Amino acid sequence: MRLMNLYPLCELVNASSTASNLFVRLFATSLKGFSGKFSDSGPFIEMWSAVNDAAKRYSSYCSTSGFGILNTMIDGNHVEVQEEVIWEKPFCRLVHFKKNSAAKGISLSEVPKVLVVAPMSGFGASLLNDLLIGLLPHHDVYITDWKNARDIPTSEGKFDLSSQIDYIMSILRVIDCGVHVVAVHQAVVPVLATVSILSANNDLHLPSSMILVGGPVDVQAAESSLATFIQESGLNWFERNMVTEVPQYYRGHTRLIVPGCSQFYGMTLYSVEEHVNLYQKMITSCISGEDSWVSSYQKLYDGYLRFMDLTAEFYLQSLDTVFIKRLLPAGRLEYRNQLVDPSAISSTALMTIAGEFDRITPPMQTQAAHKLCCNLPDSMQSTHLQAGVGHYGILCAPVLESDVIASIRSFISQHRARTKYLTSTKSAKEDEKNHKSNKSSPQKRPQQVG
């Protein structure tokens, strides 16, 4: 039995944030007016203005669609970027960032394809905007844009962790072989499971490499307060206190979900120190006029505050699988009656990326993937520990631009030979299949003339 319907409370919080946001905008505008009139009081006024600019971002409720990426820079040229949806199912759409490079006379035929698998953890995929912007100049970029569960009718059925793996497999087949996959946070475990299954089945749509960013592969590898709380509370506690029904004024009414705002407040409790530090940096950046940092923090929190509800079955199964029973590292995770075995991975290169001060997913939880992929040669493995950042700070543009993107680009470049091998192997097998099909089909007997 559930304690209460959480959705009206979440809606009230969002409405309150909107009202608060309006007040902050008006107050910040008046402060800027005073700043011009009383120049001697500049530092004091600038401080208050900076605080309220930061508060304005933190209290906003982002609900816009799309990623807003209009162009990228390639070889010193501004190249137009268009978002195109190339695949869609009830719970997800695959967005391709198509570059109009022909207009600039730039060839993209040898550019590696990169699939970014966004996390399903209560936030929209726009949280990864800076990552996308960093990847675009040198890669052909795709991203999973998971849909808000409250907007999906119950007639479309349920969606759980196995469904997410289904979707990732389908997407890999749509993009075709040789893609490089970047999985972020929650998406790390399903991506690792997907590659394990494809490897065991000798599937030709195996990715050339997978880059796992800040995900809980094995929560026992390093202690975290989040994992401890989930394990001590038990699954029933989350079902009683987090699950609610979608109200009747949304398309998904009566669907059991976990509201995005509930996940937001829960996750924030376990990363308070990081958010305080980011908030302080935003204020000091406003004061010192470091526009690139200010813009980066603003975009990060626009994505962080774009809430997304999850289906109850997905949320509960994820907690049980990853945090409570640790099925993947324990060797007991099954997908559609098939055991998921990472030791089957032998040809997809692996890179792990973690933030030094990540309190939600400590670095060793992500790096545990290397131990599980025990048959992967050392030459196909790499790890990157980003100094001085936490779970979300690693997604800020200045951090990405200074180290992370360069490491990803270098790793992908090292393992592009796998892409060419897969493409040629697939073509050869398809030719062989077509040849056998033609040979086995009955031949038409030539008509006799006369």
Taking only the tens of pLDDT, the chain with its 450 residues reads: 454 456 666 666 555 555 555 555 555 555 555 544 444 444 544 544 554 454 444 444 444 467 889 999 988 888 999 999 999 999 999 999 999 877 666 667 789 999 999 999 877 888 898 899 999 999 999 999 999 999 999 999 999 999 999 999 999 999 987 899 999 999 999 999 999 999 999 999 999 999 999 999 999 999 998 899 999 999 999 999 889 999 888 999 999 999 887 776 655 555 556 556 666 666 666 666 666 555 665 665 565 566 789 999 999 999 999 999 999 999 999 999 999 999 999 999 999 999 999 989 999 999 999 999 999 999 999 999 999 888 877 887 777 877 999 999 999 999 986 555 555 555 555 555 555 555 555 554 444 433
The one-character DSSP state at 305 is T
CB atoms within 10 A of CB 113: 20
Q: Cα dihedral sign for 264, 217, 174, 421? A: positive
Q: What's the predicted TM-score (pTM) here?
A: 0.80
| Cβ atoms of 366 and 224 closer than 8 Å | no
Tell me, what's the pLDDT at 295? 63
Amino acid at 51: V
Six-digit token string for 26: 């008006």
The one-character DSSP state at 257 is E
Give CA–CA dist 273/265, Å, rounded: 14
Give CA–CA dist 238/316, Å, rounded: 8
Which residue in 392, 369, 39 sits closest to 217, CA to CA?
A: 369
Tell me, what's the pLDDT at 116? 98
The one-character DSSP state at 147 is P
Give CA–CA dist 56/307, Å, rounded: 17
Six-digit token string for 126: 């726009």
Tell me, what's the pLDDT at 398? 75
